[in-house]
């Protein structure tokens, strides 16, 4: 694993020698975020040694390097989901590569379904904690001591200071943000009505099919993490309850400018 990470890092550094400070993972419908970056280099995943190969045709992911909020960043345009058939190790490979490229902070976005009754479509939710449900732990197997400890502490996966700062940034910009607990599931089915209710009962505010494995790997390697969901659909409602991928993408795209502003300002304020 370490050899694979090093090969990927060596390849990337030949193309792009500047060390990024912050890594960004962009969720569904949140890709145009990179329009805000002063882009210096784009590297397709397909060119990077050992990077997972995209299973979705015409869905070419890339690493985008550049400046945002006055800092050197690397953004993943396109992430790997467990439901696509990638192993948990493949899902988190890019996180480990970004760590070895030099990042200290990881900012994650995702699209999620709302369960909290006060949420509506288009809301932003700062993730304060998560519940991993059936999202297979990427650290299963022999521990790679060079990456991190056997039993990582998960009492504060989402950095409290960054949560505080992000709330201040949102308030100053007049952006309403919610906060809550993200339930990570495998998908690819959206939840049944009974499942949304179950997730609410156990303390979840939102549910999605990404993020948890990435955050576990990030904490394992000692990164400071901040994550935010765009609420793209409401799971618990009495009326007609069909949820489509198109609806999810549309809501995410509409909320993107607000999320971008918060991420960008947060990056500018990182020390
Ligand atoms: N459930 C799971 N994942 C999701 C949802 C949802 O309702 N919306 C966006 N991603």
pLDDT digits (tens, 9 = 90+) for 185-230: 999 999 999 999 999 999 999 999 999 999 999 999 999 999 999 9
Q: Is 235 in the pocket of ligand 1 (CB under 6 A)?
A: yes
Q: What residues in the chain have per-residue pLDDT under 70?
A: 28-32, 54-60, 237-241
Task: Give the model's pLDDT for residue 253.
Answer: 80
Contact by Cβ (8 Å): 75, 21: no
Q: Is 209 in the pocket of ligand 1 (CB under 6 A)?
A: yes
What does the domain layout of the chain look like in residue ranges? 2-269
Cα gap 249→121, rounded to integer Å: 11
For residue 248 and ligand 1, the question of a CB distance below 6 A is answered with yes
Ligand 1 centre from 207 Cα, in Å? 6
Mutate to test the pocket of ligand 1, among 188, 232, 251 (most ligand atoms within 8 A of CB): 232
Tell me yes or no: is domain 2-269 CATH 3.40.640.10. no
Nearest atom (ligand 1) to Cα of 190: 1
Kindly state if the Cβ of 232 falls inside 6 Å of ligand 1: yes
pLDDT of residue 56: 57
According to the model, what pLDDT value does residue 58 have? 47
Residue 237 is predicted with a pLDDT of 67
């Amino acid at each position: 694993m370490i050899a694979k990470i090093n090969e990927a890092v060596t390849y990337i550094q030949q193309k792009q020698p500047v060390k990024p400070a912050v890594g960004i993972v962009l969720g569904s419908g949140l890709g145009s975020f990179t329009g805000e970056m002063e882009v210096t280099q784009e590297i397709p995943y397909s060119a990077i040694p050992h990077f997972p190969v995209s299973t979705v045709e015409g869905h070419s992911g890339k690493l985008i390097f550049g400046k945002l909020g006055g800092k050197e960043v690397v953004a993943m345009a396109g992430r790997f989901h467990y439901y696509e058939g990638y192993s948990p190790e493949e899902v988190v490979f890019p996180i480990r590569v970004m760590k070895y490229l030099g990042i200290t902070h990881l900012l994650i976005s995702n699209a999620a379904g709302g369960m909290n009754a006060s949420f509506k479509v288009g809301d932003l939710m700062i993730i304060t904690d998560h519940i991993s449900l059936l999202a297979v732990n990427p650290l299963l197997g022999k521990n790679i001591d060079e990456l991190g400890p056997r039993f990582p502490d998960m009492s504060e996966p989402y950095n409290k200071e960054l949560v505080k700062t992000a709330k201040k940034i949102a308030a100053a910009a007049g952006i309403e943000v919610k906060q809550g607990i993200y339930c990570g599931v495998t998908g690819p089915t959206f939840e049944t009505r009974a499942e949304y209710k179950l997730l609410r009962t156990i303390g979840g505010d939102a549910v999605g099919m990404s993020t948890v494995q990435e955050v576990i790997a990030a904490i394992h390697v000692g990164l400071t993490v901040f994550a935010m969901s765009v609420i793209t659909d409401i799971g618990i409602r009495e009326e007609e309850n069909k949820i489509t991928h198109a609806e999810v993408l549309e809501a995410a795209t509409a909320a993107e400018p607000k999320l971008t502003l918060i991420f960008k300002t947060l990056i500018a304020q990182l020390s």
